[in-house]
Structure 1
């Protein structure tokens, strides 16, 4: 029989124990009842053991509760429905505490998942690592920016960029550094900002990685545009009157030298020489004005008129437009048309102009080759962006030339003005696209347009 009250059960056990002691005392050491005495002794020991075990029942209950906290297992449920009101209330309170722990853990796990989702989807690359270089977290933006998978140590970035790996290890709290990075022919400048945090007594470094190449290019082009505007304005103001005056003076002298007046016969040769000089000044002034006007184009590109057109048709048109020039220079043009129906939303005339500039540059780059060849192709890259490539089998370029090739006024050709590729980059930027170069000495050059 099991009583439903803790005190009654305890009282009953004590009474039974007292009765057993009483009978043992009554029997005493009478040898006639030796077997009965032995039985009562064993019964006494059993009752003492059961009493101790019953008294430890509450201790075992608390021990189970503490173990559930220790091992973070809050699925444990406590039930003492048959041990009275007090014990039932104890079990109920323990269950309430366990449920509260479970709710807190669930809430923290939900918050952790929420912050992890934000961490992974934030647009800025984030990298957390220990002072020894062991990487803790690397978000998707950082993987996409660096074009890598999982990393275990900062030192693994050395193959990608020694400056980046060294900077992450040496930068202190609050330090910033700009790191150049070149991948797949695309030049990037990574702004690295490091902060040092203390998490549960351990130091953790958090580095933000952001590609600021577009912003730098925009500031660079803005500075060049402002400089070009000032220079062209001043040059035009100075050269235009000289050109006009020299042309007028040349016409005036020409009218005198054409007459047969006797008094100027002796001066005719001298006047003709002066007229020729003035004509040269006028012609060179007009050439300078035309030259300056070309540079003005860098600052006067119109807004693109976006239309949708077929890339295959665009490549066919480029081939047709340059057919005569390619034939004259005996350059082979190989066009690889896309396998699928590829539509591009852009300003067709601007894209044509960029492709014509790149193809003409390639024609000059291969003119000294025994079998000059240019390749024109279109495809989709890993991010499903339309990519048009212009390749040649020329001599290629040095690393220094690739870094400066898009700077205004810079040219690798003796007769180049240095504005063609600058204009092309401006046009691609207006399309929210990029133009990059891949080259190796002795193996040719490839320009990539990514839209």
Structure 2
């Protein structure tokens, strides 16, 4: 039992070494005892080496344990070598720690395999790569969209689409882009969305690639259906009364022809006036239908913006001067505010003024029945440093149902409106890569927001 105790072995070895050294010096350097001195010296050396080896054996096992963790080699098992109860406990703890690490690694591998299976089976293409362009992961959907069985470097995709490579490398994080990829003899529209990640101190980029052809076709079909519905409604509204009135006049003329079979027909003044009024009404409605068609043509022919950098405050002051007489006549408080005064925007000034004039005029109409009329035109920068222009009024407001359709071509809430202005304004903002939105509450007012 004694030599199974590590502490006891150390004490015994040290005492034996001390006793041997004492004997060595006790003998002294007597010439007659040279052999004995050599023997005792060798014994001291042997005991010292044995003590060092005994101590290093424990250290080596600790180093072996740490290397096991360092290199993820969890096949090692530490067994007792009769070094005492404390070492038995130590080796047991070693084995428990190794088992814990082994379980964690198994769980991690299982989780990794699970997520890899999920990523490989989803319908959206997933592509991850380092900033250097080295590809880390590409799922089956991405391989199908890009038509590449494997990929090591993003640059290798230049053979597929140079534009795709540029978007993958330069697309700002959190933003999306749409482009077309060759797919057989066709070109398929895809949407890219990029996210930048940092993993263990190294930068990665994750890009999702989604085929949006079906979505675009659905949206296109929906747009065509809405357009056909609006066109049909507007044309029928004009053609139906024209046809009815023309039929009525034709019936009257036929009655006169049958009642007076001679070469001359006599009409009373009142009857002639009625027929003339009917023909004038037909002409007026026909002209309205022509104007409607011309409005539709103008909606489809928005010019390409000629962008230039200009002062927003100067433009707003000119608009304020333009509407000065009209707002004064309507007793409207017209507030113009630009912050900062040096705010500029890169846009086609004429087209932007056209949008703002349309919105201000709509606001003036919305204020017609209000007792205290306020119209505000302001410009500022939002939290993303984007230029924002807003046209606000405290008029009658717009219902939620109307807000959903207000930008549709030919949709209008005004009895005399053409329904072209807001649709044209939204199209102009889209050509500027911007947006036009509306927020409104009934009886409280409306705000149109232009964001560049």
Provide the residue aligned with 2:195 in structure 1: 195
Residue 45 of structure 1, CA deviation:
0.9
C-alpha distance in 1 between matches for 2:243 and 2:11: 125
Task: Describe the shift of the 1:18–1:134 C-alpha distance in structure 2 as closer, same or farther (beyond 3 A).
Answer: closer
Provide the residue aligned with 2:135 in structure 1: 135
Provide the residue aligned with 1:383 in structure 2: none
**Unmatched 5+ stretches in structure 2:** 265-452
Provide the residue aligned with 1:10 in structure 2: 10
Task: Describe the shift of the 1:181–1:14 C-alpha distance in structure 2 as closer, same or farther (beyond 3 A).
Answer: closer
Provide the residue aligned with 2:64 in structure 1: 64
Task: Describe the shift of the 1:40–1:122 C-alpha distance in structure 2 as closer, same or farther (beyond 3 A).
Answer: same
1:15-54 Cα offsets, whole Å, 9 max, x none, are: 4334433443454333333223222221221111111211
Q: Cα RMSD (Å) of the superposition?
A: 3.4
Provide the residue aligned with 1:78 in structure 2: 78
C-alpha distance in 2 between matches for 1:40 and 1:231: 118
Provide the residue aligned with 1:218 in structure 2: 218
Task: Describe the shift of the 1:18–1:183 C-alpha distance in structure 2 as closer, same or farther (beyond 3 A).
Answer: closer
1:102-135 Cα offsets, whole Å, 9 max, x none, are: 2222222222222222222222211112223222
Map 1:92-107; keep pairs closer than 5 Å.
92-107=92-107
Map 1:413-424; keep pairs closer than 5 Å.
none
Q: Matched residue pairs, number? A: 264
Task: Describe the shift of the 1:65–1:39 C-alpha distance in structure 2 as closer, same or farther (beyond 3 A).
Answer: same
1:238-282 Cα offsets, whole Å, 9 max, x none, are: 5576499579959987x979xxx7747xxxxxxxxxxxxxxxxxx
C-alpha distance in 2 between matches for 1:79 and 1:106: 23
C-alpha distance in 2 between matches for 1:262 and 1:67: 123
**Unmatched 5+ stretches in structure 1:** 265-451
C-alpha distance in 1 between matches for 2:156 and 2:74: 41
Asked whether the 8 Å contact 1:133–1:155 carries over to 2, the reply is yes
C-alpha distance in 2 between matches for 1:169 and 1:144: 20
Asked whether the 8 Å contact 1:187–1:213 carries over to 2, the reply is no
Task: Describe the shift of the 1:157–1:246 C-alpha distance in structure 2 as closer, same or farther (beyond 3 A).
Answer: farther
Asked whether the 8 Å contact 1:128–1:206 carries over to 2, the reply is yes
C-alpha distance in 1 between matches for 2:182 and 2:22: 97
Find the residue that maps to 2:3 and give its secondary structure: coil
Find the residue that maps to 1:180 and give its secondary structure: strand
Residue 194 of structure 1, CA deviation:
0.9
C-alpha distance in 1 between matches for 2:154 and 2:142: 13
C-alpha distance in 2 between matches for 1:176 and 1:190: 10
1:130-152 Cα offsets, whole Å, 9 max, x none, are: 22322221111111222222112
C-alpha distance in 2 between matches for 1:209 and 1:106: 32
Find the residue that maps to 2:73 and give its secondary structure: coil
Map 1:10-409; keep pairs closer than 5 Å.
10-236=10-236, 242=243, 263=263
